[in-house]
Amino acid sequence: MSPAPPDDAVRVGVLAIQGDVAEHLRSIAAAGGRPSRIRRPADLNDIDGLILPGGESTTIGMLGGEAGLLSAIRLRVAEGLPVWGTCAGLILLAQDVGQAQPLIGGLDVTVARNAFGRQVDSFEVDLDVAGLTDGPFRAVFIRAPVVCRAGPAVEVLARLNDGTIVAVRQGLMLGTSFHPELTGDHRLHTLFLRMVAAQRSASRQSRA
How far apart, in Å, are the Cα atoms of 193 and each of 9, 171, 186, 189?
A: 9, 14, 10, 6
Whether 79 is catalytic:
no
Question: To the nearest 10°, the Cα dihedral for 130, 134, 139, 145?
Answer: -10
Residue 181 bears catalytic tag: yes
Q: Find out whether 52 and 83 touch, Cβ atoms under 8 Å.
A: yes
Exactly one of 23, 24, 181, 186 is catalytic; name it. Answer: 181
Q: Out of 23, 79, 148, 179, which one is annotated catalytic?
A: 179
Known catalytic residue: 124?
no
- For the chain, the 3-state helix, strand and coil shares in percent, each to the nearest 5, are 35, 25, 40
- Tell me how far CA of residue 11 lies from CA of 7, 55, 194, in angstroms: 10, 22, 12
Given the residues 56, 66, 79, 87, select the one marked as catalytic: 87
Which active-site residues does the annotation give?
87, 179, 181
